[in-house]
Amino acid sequence: AGEDQVWLIHVYGNTGYDFGYAYGTLLRDQINKVLPRAWAHFEEEILKELKNLKLPKWFVDFVVDKGLAFALDIQNDLVKKYMDEEVYNEMRGIADAAQVDYKTVIRLHMLGEITRGRCSLYGLWGNATLGGKTLQLRALDWDVDGGLQDYPVITIYHPLTSKLGHPFANVAWAGYIGTLTGMSSLRLGISEIGVSFPDDTFGDESMAGLPFIFVERHILQFSETLDDALSFIANVRRTCHLILGVADGKLGTARMVQYSHSIVNFFDDQNLQPLADWHPRIPHAIYSGMDWLCPSRQYKLYKAITDQYGQITPELSIKNITSVVKTGDLHVGVYDLTDNIMYVANARGTNEQGPMEAYKRQFVKVDLNVEFARTR
């Protein structure tokens, strides 16, 4: 057993509960180890950072007076009516099979709206890449101290009924079924950045809506085309300030989304925002480094893309883009949406050697043509 391993699991089902029960059965040990550890860590971190997080006063007061678990239960009450019932069924299946507390599983999935993470993304196509491939980056810069990287999981979902969508791959950690990183069998990819430094074009935020990790998951699970994905984003009840990236290997293009509760804007390479000397437009590319108003990191990503322009492959991106820009400390996904191949790296695990950051570590190559075709 070497380092930089990741669990690759396949779940099949006619219901969300089937998915969850299979998942919880396969990863029972890992879930029982990671849940208490991650919960204790995030609880401590959120309490420490409470003043700096962009949260409504009433929510902060609940956390202070009643504790984080209570506040997250209230948040779940606010989002419940926007959620797909099958997602709760899946969480219940996990809780039953792994013998963990169902409410704890739900709370874990409410944390993303609070913590969000700073990240980077690109979508490249046409002249930007070698051979005109459609490539996408999803670099997750989040907390490497919670131990999540000890339990990395790629889940391949195989719905046995169309009401559960189509096959897709979700990259996360044991017990976590929201989507931050992943690709679908219809060659759509998703990326996301939490925005701490918006400008006045963003609009407001709300805690009542579909949590973004399930907006992203819906796109992978149900959207058939880029247009499907964009119209879902336009019409769903959105929550917080984000930047999303959606790329489509069938169409050979990508879009960046300025995302908030009240406003949504869609950008391609012709109208990409924010337009500034530190974030110029690039033909056949959308990109964002770390945040919306983040000149140094935005420009670094611009420079790395333009330095390799026309030659970019997943391997070159790993070697000369993420490692140079230094983005993706917890995990990195590079998607080849033309050939349906995903490259994933995770931060250093507890007993592993070498650098901490995922972008400096060995990547695992997953051929999704093979994985999506696997039968039970």
pLDDT, tens digit, 9 for 90 and up, residues 87-119: 999 999 999 999 999 999 999 999 888 876 788
Tell me the one-letter amino acid at 45: E
Q: Which two tokens stand for residue 362?
A: 């060995």
Q: What is the pLDDT of residues 41-73, one digit of tens each?
A: 888 888 888 888 888 888 889 888 999 999 999
Q: What is the pLDDT of residues 347-376, one digit of tens each?
A: 999 988 999 999 999 999 999 999 999 998
User: Which residue ranges form the domains of the chain, and what is each CATH number?
Assistant: 7-11+116-373 (3.60.60.10)
Tell me the one-letter amino acid at 238: R
Query: How far, in Å, CA of 217 to CA of 121, rounded?
Result: 17
pTM as predicted: 0.95
Q: Is the distance from CB of 286 to CB of 268 less than 8 angstroms?
A: yes
Q: How high is the pLDDT of residue 1?
A: 47
pLDDT for residue 300 is more than 90: yes
State what percent of residues in the chain have pLDDT above 90: 86
Q: Which residues of 233-249 are buried (b: 16+ CB within 10 A; e: fewer)?
A: beebebbbbbbbbbbbb
Average pLDDT score, the chain: 95
Model confidence band, residue 331 (pLDDT cutoffs 50, 70, 90): very high
pLDDT for residue 279 is more than 70: yes
